[in-house]
Structure 1
Amino acid sequence: MQNQFSRTQLLFGKPAIDTLAGSRVAVFGVGGVGGYVVEVLARSGVGAIDLYDDDRVCLTNVNRQLYALISTIGKHKVDVAAQRVHDINPHCIVRTYKKFYLVSNAHEVDLSCYDYVVDCIDTVSAKMELVRRCKQLGVPILCCMGAANKFDATAFRIADISKTKNDPLAKVMRKRLRREGINHFKCVYSDELPTAPFDDADISCRFHCICPNKDMRKCTDRRNIPASNAFVPAAEGIIAGGEVVKDLIAAAGTMRISPQERDTSAPALKAADRARRMLQEWKTMKLQEQSAGNE
């Protein structure tokens, strides 16, 4: 029977779709890059997506962020994201956490329950802590490096952190984590050299912060206000989301199992069972929500 994922199934095969339907992925940061990661995961049929971000939509986000519209200004990004994901796949279990992942609260997040973690955070200390903990737990992680101050959407690469170049954020993480014995993890980075933004006091958030949630992070307290555009962060997010999808399927061994093979393939049968269990979890959650609403 045809559904919203039929065209994907024609390319990947039903067992791959089942793998995605039975997977749980966490995305930390749902801004310019993270929003497009979530979009790819949702449109690929990932069964459970956990979203971590405490930002609200700001007018200055509209130039590049998927969830930023004039109509969504002031709303929590994770709430807008959850609504959009459910409009794509009503069966997706979306858990939202209005919090920034920090070194100080990292212990509150159980990363072991995830099949994959995507780092779209813009704070070095938080990114490093997320890598540390995923490495300790053996949870796959993909880190998204800098997308600000760049023009070339075709310059992004998937690489080990040790192979990155021309990315200031990647350089800092590479050097600091190397001291801790963490030399390898996958990332998305651009090898384009950053361009210095104009110092325009008339429009800079550094002097005129208009964030709707000013009790969190005032732009006037930031050292730098990065420049951005509509296409570079989007390209990185789409590339990152696609890599997660392919990695999940590759790890399960379910890429392109033919319709003739899937009833006898052990990986296909395992993926089908996981998909059924995820769907049952969604049904149970819906029943609990309905019951709570009737009280």
Structure 2
Amino acid sequence: METEFERMERIIDKNKLEILKNKHIAVFGIGGVGSFAAEALARCFVKKITLIDNDTVTISNINRQLIALHSTINKLKVDIMKERILDINPECCVKAVNLFYCKDTENCINFKDFDAVIDAVDTVSAKLLIIENAKKTGIEVISCMGTGNKLDPSRFEITDISKTSVCPLARVMRNELKKRKISNVPVVYSKEEPLKNKDIPSVNKNQFTKISPGSVSFVPSVAGMIAVSYLVRQFLK
């Protein structure tokens, strides 16, 4: 009789699979990267997943985010993702946290509850805080760098933040982490040179203080999958 775990058991020892299933992993940011990471964890049958994001789905998310559909516009991303995970694995304990993680909300999240965290947020200050608290707690962390303005997912790789190049976000993170004397941070980053944003005549740029990067479905999703692959392989060592 077929089971949900059968295909995984063909390549992962049952005892090691149990170790993986019993981990508690937090995903910060349920967007183009984080939504795919969260789903990959669910399909690895991780029993405890915490989702942290305060955003709602907008129509501009539909081109790249797993939880973004016309039927989910204006709904909380964490709530949609939780419902989806429970449909994949009803036995999963999923906590949906409607929260923008920053200094003011730092105490709302206890990193001691987790075995690992995936940083899939966009804000530099939040990324630094996530990494800093993961390091203090001594848990696994994988941080995803920029995925916008890129078209080639084959250029992603996992490396230490100190060895990154090309990526503007990675450069900022590298400098800020160095100031804080934080080292040995694994990241998913792309060696592809960022493409230039094209002008969109239908958009009034005067309405915006920041131009959002361009994006496609097949780039951020891959970064999320790579992040989960890294954690799974760390736990199976």
TM-score clears 0.5: yes
Preserved contact between residue 26 and residue 51 of structure 1 (Cα < 8 Å): yes
1:199 CA drift (Å): 2.4
Q: Does 1:37 align with 2:15?
A: no
Structure 2 counterpart of 1:234: 221
Q: Distance in 1 between matches of 2:102 and 2:206?
A: 26
Hey, what's the Cα distance between the residues in 1 that align with 2:201 and 2:225? 33
Whether the 8 Å CA contact 2:141–2:185 is kept in 1: the answer is yes
- How many residues align? The count is 237
Q: Please list every run of at least 4 consecutive aligned residues from structure 1 whose deviation after the TM superposition is greater than 4 angstroms.
A: none
Aligned to 2:61: 61
Write the deviation string for residues 198-247 of structure 1: whole angstroms up to 9, x where unpaired.
1224136x566xxxxxxxxxxx3x42211101101111111111111221
3-state SS, counterpart of residue 26 of structure 2? strand
Higher relative contact order (CA closer than 8 Å, sequence separation 6+): 1
Write the distance in 1 (CA, Å) between the matches of 2:55 and 2:206: 19
Q: TM-score, normalised by structure 1?
A: 0.77
**TM-score between both structures, scaled by the size of structure 2:** 0.96
Partners of 1:201 and 1:207 within 8 A in 2:
no
Contact 1:24 1:48 in 2 (8 A): yes
Q: Distance in 2 between matches of 1:51 and 1:201?
A: 36
What is the rounded CA distance, in whole Å, between the counterparts of 1:41 and 1:136 in structure 2?
24
Stretches of structure 1 lacking an aligned partner (at least 5 in a row): 209-219, 251-295
The gaps in structure 2 that reach 5 residues or longer are none
Relative distance call for 1:74 and 1:111 in structure 2 (3 A) is same
Distance 1:40 1:207 in 2: 39
State the AA in 2 paired with 1:161: I
CA distances 1:127-176 after superposition (whole Å, capped 9, x unpaired): 00111111111111100000001111100000011111101111101111
- Indicate the SS of the match to 1:142: strand
Equivalent-residue separation in structure 1 for 2:213 and 2:103 (angstroms): 23
Partner of 2:235: 248
> In structure 2, what residue type is equivalent to 1:234?
S
Aligned to 1:238, what secondary structure does the other structure show? helix
Match of 1:212 in 2: none
Name the larger-Rg structure. 1
For 1:203 and 1:35, the matched residues in 2 are separated by: 27
- 1:1-295 equivalences under 5 Å are 2-203=2-203, 220=208, 222-250=209-237
Query: Is the contact made by 2:30 and 2:77 (CA closer than 8 Å) also made in structure 1?
Result: yes
Residue 152 of structure 2 aligns to a residue whose secondary structure is coil
Letter in 2 for 1:236: A
> What amino acid maps onto 1:145 in structure 2?
M
Would the aligned equivalents of 2:140 and 2:231 in 1 still touch at CA under 8 Å?
no
**Superposition deviation, residue 13 in structure 1:** 1.5
> Partner of 2:236: helix, strand, or coil?
helix
Q: Give the counterpart letter for 1:147 in structure 2.
A: T
Q: Percent identity?
A: 39
Contact 1:174 1:183 in 2 (8 A): no
Question: Shift of residue 103 of structure 1?
Answer: 2.2
Matched residues in 2 for 1:73 and 1:241: separation?
26
